[in-house]
Amino acid sequence: MLKEYKNGERFEGIVLVNEWKEVPFRQKPGAFLSLMCQDRSGVMQGKMWEYPPQILTWLREQDIFLIHGVVSEYRGALDLTIEDMRMIPKEDVDLTMLLPCSPISEIELETRLRVLLDKIHRPELGKLVGQFLDHPEWGRAYRLAPAAVKIHQAYLRGLWEHSVRVTELADGIAGHFPGMDQDLVLAGALLHDIGKIGEYSYDRGIKFTTEGRLLGHIVMGLELLSGEIAKISEFPQELRYKLLHIISSHHGKYEWQSPKRPKLMEALVIHYADVMDAELYQFEQAKASHPDDDWSPYIPSMERYLYLK
Amino acid sequence: MLKEYKNGERFEGIVLVNEWKEVPFRQKPGAFLSLMCQDRSGVMQGKMWEYPPQILTWLREQDIFLIHGVVSEYRGALDLTIEDMRMIPKEDVDLTMLLPCSPISEIELETRLRVLLDKIHRPELGKLVGQFLDHPEWGRAYRLAPAAVKIHQAYLRGLWEHSVRVTELADGIAGHFPGMDQDLVLAGALLHDIGKIGEYSYDRGIKFTTEGRLLGHIVMGLELLSGEIAKISEFPQELRYKLLHIISSHHGKYEWQSPKRPKLMEALVIHYADVMDAELYQFEQAKASHPDDDWSPYIPSMERYLYLK
Amino acid sequence: MLKEYKNGERFEGIVLVNEWKEVPFRQKPGAFLSLMCQDRSGVMQGKMWEYPPQILTWLREQDIFLIHGVVSEYRGALDLTIEDMRMIPKEDVDLTMLLPCSPISEIELETRLRVLLDKIHRPELGKLVGQFLDHPEWGRAYRLAPAAVKIHQAYLRGLWEHSVRVTELADGIAGHFPGMDQDLVLAGALLHDIGKIGEYSYDRGIKFTTEGRLLGHIVMGLELLSGEIAKISEFPQELRYKLLHIISSHHGKYEWQSPKRPKLMEALVIHYADVMDAELYQFEQAKASHPDDDWSPYIPSMERYLYLK
Amino acid sequence: MLKEYKNGERFEGIVLVNEWKEVPFRQKPGAFLSLMCQDRSGVMQGKMWEYPPQILTWLREQDIFLIHGVVSEYRGALDLTIEDMRMIPKEDVDLTMLLPCSPISEIELETRLRVLLDKIHRPELGKLVGQFLDHPEWGRAYRLAPAAVKIHQAYLRGLWEHSVRVTELADGIAGHFPGMDQDLVLAGALLHDIGKIGEYSYDRGIKFTTEGRLLGHIVMGLELLSGEIAKISEFPQELRYKLLHIISSHHGKYEWQSPKRPKLMEALVIHYADVMDAELYQFEQAKASHPDDDWSPYIPSMERYLYLK
Amino acid sequence: MLKEYKNGERFEGIVLVNEWKEVPFRQKPGAFLSLMCQDRSGVMQGKMWEYPPQILTWLREQDIFLIHGVVSEYRGALDLTIEDMRMIPKEDVDLTMLLPCSPISEIELETRLRVLLDKIHRPELGKLVGQFLDHPEWGRAYRLAPAAVKIHQAYLRGLWEHSVRVTELADGIAGHFPGMDQDLVLAGALLHDIGKIGEYSYDRGIKFTTEGRLLGHIVMGLELLSGEIAKISEFPQELRYKLLHIISSHHGKYEWQSPKRPKLMEALVIHYADVMDAELYQFEQAKASHPDDDWSPYIPSMERYLYLK
Amino acid sequence: MLKEYKNGERFEGIVLVNEWKEVPFRQKPGAFLSLMCQDRSGVMQGKMWEYPPQILTWLREQDIFLIHGVVSEYRGALDLTIEDMRMIPKEDVDLTMLLPCSPISEIELETRLRVLLDKIHRPELGKLVGQFLDHPEWGRAYRLAPAAVKIHQAYLRGLWEHSVRVTELADGIAGHFPGMDQDLVLAGALLHDIGKIGEYSYDRGIKFTTEGRLLGHIVMGLELLSGEIAKISEFPQELRYKLLHIISSHHGKYEWQSPKRPKLMEALVIHYADVMDAELYQFEQAKASHPDDDWSPYIPSMERYLYLK
């Protein structure tokens, strides 16, 4: 992995190049090529001092390359002097090698997911969630998609991690309140963000899809869920409304793009579990990135500085 | 019709009773029964000075009655002294006789609708809208549902009237802008509010349904539309997104429960046509209700007084 | 208790009278006296047809009376025809007989409180909370004060009930997040609303005090907490800031009168536990008051209808 | 025109220089002069490697120059190496040669304007609008001023173009609503933005005037209109109020600096026509600037990305 | 004056009747007439037990009457049993006898106004303000109009009182800041609300005029001021902008209907003096109306309770 | 002082270095050191072309240095070529030599403060304020602390200057309103911002403290005031509430972090005096920084441009 190399070592490996530009020299003609090289371990700036013109064409069309070069230290940071780069067919590459990924392992996520699934007693709900998670396409995407473009869990398997965390939290909260339909909380929390499967593309960096921008993950999640429910004969009508309402209302406020505010106890709990997971994730990230500081930098999404001690 | 009767005339007819209460006498024991009697022509207060107890039971369970009584003037207004009332099975009654109805005739609405349909040239869109309007259940409901519980076109056939008006207006606006997909404007405008079919119940006064409160007409419209599109083979994927986006964004703002803001020219036009039709409808209503006044009463939904001259 | 009497029974007992007025007869001179009589079981309207003038003087100065009268049914509800009323010195009355009270018993609340206290391991925090709860004045007030004037837990022992519920909830949530200072969550949650001790008076109905209106329970809580911390020698300075910050920020938003937003993980959890307890309490209340309805009436504090099924 | 020159060609022509700076060399003493040269065709960066000191004085005082130089390609873009520059008196220059201009020709705008004028039947209104448009000073300024400093129609003749477009649109909309005073819509729409005549200066780039910043185009438009009305004897008082109200309310909301919200049907239509023209103009511009993209960049004034396909 | 009469005394005098209704008897046919009788001293409820039908016609067309009747006490308040009422031509009545009036005498107001005028040294400004205050129509209206329909100084001579108070206050504040144009503060403050002259009608109760509703006092004040300035030859252009800006911005915020925010020091001071005078007037009124209370009732315009001790 | 040196002069003196970075050369290896050198007179950029590595260590740990170098002009501005720098112990330095300071002298501020103190007649209030200002720690800090990190009076002695200015202004305003407790205004205004003593650190540039970020100056001021009041035996309880309320409410709005809105006349006046002083300070600063301009740059805190003529 890119970030494991040290000053002076030769590097040979596959990287994703999402950003690049030609940088003109200041006082002589010509320019060099600056490329942001990324694999799962992180990002390293690359420089190519001489390059054939066709490389610009490749860069416009492709983003995965086999790179040869030398790592060297430049003003305290490492960068990569690239000697050669070649195109690699996308099909030959394992995406999780190139993009950042949840720090929680697949085995752990699957185990925690199964624990949650086993707690759902009502057959229709168990069947619905199971069917979705075992769906050849949805199940795989659910376990691979990021949870966001930035802000929280913006990496592969982020949706899976976020869904498991929110469900565990919501389940715990629900247990404090009599009259709560715990099965509905479990199923609703596991499914609340499924629309994110299609809201982002993540085959080359994490970006919004056109469908994601036009419809958003709430509307897309409603469609997915509606389609899955339709496959189960005699699924109770009211239960259906409730699940759709949970997806509709999980952002909690109109201003946050929820077309409904939570009107069920279960929807309320899922909304707050979702908000808390996202906000506390900010603390976790800030602590990890600034292990020696008392205060985080200003966090725009939370409109405040966080105290890290 | 109730409102055609004059002082002193005997009335016999079928009315809907949505509100009633027992009013205690001030200085003697006992009470009289006050009932709001309604048919399509409007509302008249009824009083029943003596009544057998079982009438209270009927009123809790039923709301359509055959009434005998006398119309009389009381302090400048007419009311109805009820002598006898009997239950009528709901099935025996034509709903449009009991609830207020669009002032525009069915024939006119159907004609104007057909004109709009004929302007849609793109086959998939023509097929989609036609299929919906000819659907045995949706087509009938589209032509019967109200457009609102209150505020604008809160009467039977209100949705139909509103849809036709908005489409005519949006079509006219779209014609001013090159590059506008006029077919998409027509189809989107005709379908923008279809979710209202299930958002309100209107068999005994106009009320929200549980599904309507939990999901709202935007989400319900998305589901209906999605289902209809699925019946058309090879419906273009992008066109599908655009239509769903038009429904999602037609309220224009998050605070007005749209999960997306309009990002298509066509969605923008439909949104503004919808807003203008609703607001100008307020002027029409205020002018009709206050023909001699310079100023309307304060209109809370618009946060202002309207000038009517 | 007032609400246990039936039609025709004679009543003799002590009641609190917070509202009263003289109601003029419509068509003869004179008036009768209408009084809202309350004890812990609830409220019943009283009427006094003849009354000596000095009763008006009493009513202006006092609010606790011994009443004799007869319960009778009037249009479906019971009311109380009062024959005689006498003043009772406030000191002779047990307040919990006259005002509504938490449905949870003192024994249960104390047990749950002790469980929470025992979970606090850090000595300074255990000492601080223990010292406050055992304080002869604060400890008693903490266990008697209401949690609100209206909206949630607006009854005696409401603060105690609310504090215990919020702490249990916050403690459960905190357990999901590594790096959380669980002791700080427990202590902060138990103390977050202590300012309410002085914000309301509750010796004759629940009302704001002048101090409560001028300062509010956040500022009053800061003062109380600061005073208690000062009694503990060498209480760590940073822990002190954190506890004060938890009180300052527990409403979560400036608009909700918090002078700071939560900047600690622990403060964030307490804020959300507080919000969730208050909102889910609305569901509990609505379900209890409307056991047969699908939907609650409109809840202004939540700006929505709640679904109760 | 500047933008018609190709790599290697000599340029001689008149340009407007609104921005310039001395750029120090990095590793040798001295600096070069960088100037943004602009004519109606667009902007090109100029560089002057050696320059006499008095040029700096000229640049501080003047902004129109006759330039000699050579166009050359530098990293994919063309720039201009300036060999000589001389001052040109402002009076000798035709402003529309130096600033960007509406893409619609004068002839077309005048024709469309005349069509609209001819539709006004009410004599007072026809006279008022005609008198304004034929006023030697106002009429010329109306046909030359920009519609904005940035955002929409920020070029010469932008006000004229915008006024014609809004009026055509408002006229079309008004035709859908019975009871609308079509003459008032036409006159109001043509005049709604006349205050912009003085809000911006546009003799050297488009900027706010001091009067424009202190009063704004709504207040300035009210004054202009009021002055013109005063010249017409027996202009009906109510019609005067209505026209002034249309100007006052055309931004539609207090937050958008309208001191009144639209209270006339006609004012409402003009407001929405104005908003729609400005927003759809954003689409037109985005499509023109990004002919190959699916999505526009983020548009801050609309708080969204626009879909361009 | 109405409010000087005591129980049992006969009343004969001229009153204004703005509200009236027929009140049906509960248990016998017929109704009595209830009238709100008002003169400058305040309001007293009148009752007329028998009345010829033509009185209703009079009441619909007129509002000033000569009344004969008897004052009597009814449940602690005085009311007026009316025996006879006759129409009085409006021209025969001194308006200040019928409507509430500033508690400050004309002499005092004029004296304080003159003191302020004498402090204006700059000739153009002195001339402008003097000319306005001596204008036969404007000067009289300025000294008679109310300052509001409700909330603050909603009585005759309220505008005068408010203008004098605000000017004294603004003048005092301005004295603290070097670089302030004190003359501009004086002139601007005296004229800031002149548009209220036409915003309200006050010949029969205080109401909005149509012009007032369509344009508002800011726009109307700009027009008045602009007209007066035009009479002074060679009035400096910049001084004119500044004065108009002061009127435009004196509400301080867009949401409060100011089309501009204060951008001059002098405008800022006048805005805050205006706000403070209005808010402190609320305290004065609350203290006067509730001399024995610690707290005012809830004041919606200030969104709070006021402490009165 | 740094800013007194001219081109070519040698500089030797003590400076504060808050910001620094190594700037790599573009086309040769290595870097130079850029340092922002500051003393009370202002800021000057320094460059060190060669530097031993240990200087970087010093800069990470220290910020006060004795500098030798030469002032030279570089593209119109002066900068400092540093030849040598040595650490200086913080204790050996007078802070007011290194940081900007109020332009008003200590003598003048103390005199104006004394005048205000002498106007307080009520003994408890005089004692309270005197005791605070004479407190060995608080009194010194009050006279040294800045009033803000940026925006207004962000320099040493800024709090003192701001407090005196606000008090003079509030005292003047209060004099216009009968019933105002002038003593309370004086004491409240002098103490309203005392929490700023601990909200900022200012021994090396002005920054927020951790306590300041967690609690803010309102909460910290309440604590300080509460502690001082406790030292005065028999301080009236109500007066105590009022003073605490003045601190709580002096920002005027919840959104501005005041947990209460002003409910006392005196609190209202202090709030507005505070706002006006801060806003008019913006004008003063803008006029001083842009003596030749008509308009200030955009002022984000006031959301507008200011007119400076």
* Two structure tokens written together for B119: 């302007």
The pLDDT of residue C222:
96
**Rounded to an integer, what distance in angstroms lies between the CA atom of residue E277 and that of residue B219?**
50
Taking CA atoms, A85 is separated from A3, A52, A67, in Å, by 18, 11, 5
**Residue A197 · residue A138 · CB < 8 Å:** yes
Is the pLDDT at B75 greater than 70? The verdict is no
Segment A35-44 shows an average pLDDT of 85
- Tell me the Ramachandran region of residue A307: left when phi exceeds 0, alpha when psi lies from -120 to 50, beta otherwise: beta
**Rounded to an integer, what distance in angstroms lies between the CA atom of residue A267 and that of residue C306?**
11
Which residues, at least 6 apart from C109, have a Cβ–Cβ distance to it below 8 Å?
C102, C143, C157, C160, C161, C164
* ipTM here: 0.86
Least confident span in B17-21, B44-48, D267-271: B17-21
**Rounded to an integer, what distance in angstroms lies between the CA atom of residue A14 and that of residue B24?**
87
The pLDDT of residue A278:
94
Taking CA atoms, E116 is separated from E105, E167, E185, E244, in Å, by 17, 8, 11, 20
The tens digit of pLDDT for each residue in D137-157 reads 999 999 999 998 776 788 899
The pLDDT of residue D29:
61
**B105: phi then psi, degrees, rounded to nearest 5:** -70, 160
Asked if E244 has any chain D CB less than 8 Å from its own CB, the reply is yes
Smallest CA–CA distance, residue B260 to chain D, in Å, is: 10
The pLDDT of residue D168:
98
Segment B269-298 shows an average pLDDT of 93
Is the pLDDT at F196 greater than 60? The verdict is yes
Rg (CA), chain B: 23
**Rounded to an integer, what distance in angstroms lies between the CA atom of residue E270 and that of residue E162?**
12
The pLDDT of residue B175:
96
The pLDDT of residue D76:
62
CA angle B30, B34, B40 (to 5 degrees): 165
Taking CA atoms, F144 is separated from A186, B277, C230, F153, F224, in Å, by 58, 63, 27, 12, 17
Segment D97-107 shows an average pLDDT of 90
The pLDDT of residue C187:
98
Q: How many CB pairs under 8 A join B and D?
A: 69
Neighbours of B55 (CB within 10 A): 18
The pLDDT of residue D176:
96
Mean pLDDT rounded to a whole number for chain D: 90
Listed by start position, the domains of chain D span 2-92, 99-289
pLDDT class of C149 with cuts at 50, 70, 90: confident
The pLDDT of residue C115:
97
Is the CB of F210 less than 8 angstroms away from the CB of A294? Answer: yes
Chain F contact set for A74 (CB, 8 A): 24
The residue that leads in pLDDT, A200 or C172, is C172
Chain C contact set for F240 (CB, 8 A): none
Rounded to two decimals, the pTM is 0.88
The residue that leads in pLDDT, A119 or F51, is A119
Chain D contact set for B305 (CB, 8 A): 263
Is the CB of C169 less than 8 angstroms away from the CB of A176? Answer: yes
* Two structure tokens written together for B169: 């207006």
Q: Quick one: CA dihedral B283, B286, B291, B295, positive or negative?
A: negative
Taking CA atoms, B216 is separated from A246, B208, D4, D113, E146, in Å, by 13, 9, 56, 45, 48
Segment E275-288 shows an average pLDDT of 94
The pLDDT of residue B50:
85
* Long-range pairs of C47-52 with CB within 8 A, sequence gap ≥ 24: C47/C79, C47/C80, C47/C81, C47/C82, C48/C81, C48/C82, C48/C85, C49/C81
The pLDDT of residue F59:
85
**Got the DSSP string for D169-233?**
HHHHHHTTSTT--HHHHHHHHHHTTTTHHHHEE-SSS-EE-HHHHHHHHHHHHHHHHHHHHHTST
The pLDDT of residue E253:
87
First and final CA of chain B: distance in angstroms? 32
Q: E and A: touch, per 3+ CB pairs < 8 A?
A: no
**Rounded to an integer, what distance in angstroms lies between the CA atom of residue A258 and that of residue C301?**
19
**Residue E87 · residue E58 · CB < 8 Å:** yes
The tens digit of pLDDT for each residue in C189-198 reads 999 999 999 9
The pLDDT of residue B151:
67
Segment A258-277 shows an average pLDDT of 96
Which of A295, A298, A309 to mutate to probe the F interface, most F CBs <10 Å? Answer: A295
The residue type at C38: Q
The pLDDT of residue B307:
95
pLDDT class of F153 with cuts at 50, 70, 90: confident
Segment C242-259 shows an average pLDDT of 93
Options 1.10.10, 2.60.40, 3.30.1130, 1.10.3210; CATH for A99-289 is 1.10.3210
Facing residues of A307 across strands?
A295
Q: Which letter does DSSP use for residue A175 in this model?
A: T
The pLDDT of residue D7:
83
pLDDT class of A240 with cuts at 50, 70, 90: very high
Is the pLDDT at D224 greater than 80? The verdict is yes
The partner residue sitting opposite C305, judged by closest CB among B22, B26, B213, is B213
The tens digit of pLDDT for each residue in F94-145 reads 877 888 889 999 999 999 999 999 999 999 999 999 999 999 999 999 999 9
For residue F257, the SS3 value is coil
Is the pLDDT at C25 greater than 70? The verdict is no
Smallest CA–CA distance, residue A143 to chain C, in Å, is: 21
Mean pLDDT rounded to a whole number for chain E: 90
Rg (CA), chain E: 23
Least confident span in B18-32, C35-49, E190-204: B18-32
Chain F contact set for A26 (CB, 8 A): 26-27
Taking CA atoms, E157 is separated from E5, E210, F62, in Å, by 25, 21, 68
pLDDT class of A75 with cuts at 50, 70, 90: low
The pLDDT of residue C64:
87
Q: D and C: touch, per 3+ CB pairs < 8 A?
A: no
The pLDDT of residue F19:
81
**Residue D114 · residue D107 · CB < 8 Å:** no
Is the pLDDT at B77 greater than 90? The verdict is no
3-state helix, strand, coil in chain D (%, to 5): 45, 20, 35
- Domain B2-92 sits in CATH at 2.40.50.140
pLDDT class of B6 with cuts at 50, 70, 90: confident
Segment B71-75 shows an average pLDDT of 76
The partner residue sitting opposite B263, judged by closest CB among A213, A226, A245, is A213
Neighbours of D81 (CB within 10 A): 14
**Rounded to an integer, what distance in angstroms lies between the CA atom of residue E233 and that of residue E222?**
18
Least confident span in E16-20, E77-81, E94-98, E181-185: E94-98
The pLDDT of residue B25:
66
* Two structure tokens written together for A151: 């802000």
**Got the DSSP string for D86-150?**
EE--GGGS-HHHHS-B-SS-HHHHHHHHHHHHHT--SHHHHHHHHHHHT-TTHHHHHTTS-S-SS
Q: Quick one: CA dihedral E11, E17, E23, E28, positive or negative?
A: positive
The tens digit of pLDDT for each residue in D239-292 reads 999 999 999 999 998 888 899 999 999 999 999 999 999 999 999 999 998 888
**Residue A164 · residue A106 · CB < 8 Å:** no
Is the pLDDT at A53 greater than 60? The verdict is yes
Is the CB of B26 less than 8 angstroms away from the CB of E22? Answer: no
**Got the DSSP string for chain B?**
-GGG--TT-EEEEEEEEEEEEEEE-SSSS-EEEEEEEEETTEEEEEEESS--THHHHHHHH--EEEEEEEEEEETTEEEEEEEEEEE--GGGS-HHHHS-B-SS-HHHHHHHHHHHHHT--SHHHHHHHHHHHTSTTHHHHHTTS-S-SSSS--SBTHHHHHHHHHHHHHHHHHTTSTT--HHHHHHHHHHTTTTHHHHEE-SSS-EE-HHHHHHHHHHHHHHHHHHHHHTSTT--HHHHHHHHHHHHHTT-SGGGT-SS---SHHHHHHHHHHHHHHHHHHHHHHHHH-TT-SBPPPBGGGTB--B--
Which residues, at least 6 apart from A288, have a Cβ–Cβ distance to it below 8 Å?
none
The beta-strand segments (E) located in E171-278 are: 200-201, 207-208
Segment D34-42 shows an average pLDDT of 86
The partner residue sitting opposite D75, judged by closest CB among A24, A27, A214, is A24
The partner residue sitting opposite F305, judged by closest CB among E179, E263, E268, is E263
The partner residue sitting opposite E214, judged by closest CB among B27, B28, B307, is B307
The pLDDT of residue F175:
96
The tens digit of pLDDT for each residue in F221-247 reads 999 999 999 999 999 999 999 999 999
Could you say which residues from 54 to 113 on chain E have a Cβ atom under 8 Å away from some Cβ of chain C?
74-76
Task: Say what percent of chain A tops pLDDT 90.
Answer: 60
Least confident span in B136-150, C284-298, D31-45, E132-146: D31-45
Is the pLDDT at B28 greater than 70? The verdict is no
Is the pLDDT at E64 greater than 60? The verdict is yes
Neighbours of F80 (CB within 10 A): 22
Smallest CA–CA distance, residue B237 to chain C, in Å, is: 36
D31, closest residue in chain F (CA to CA): F75
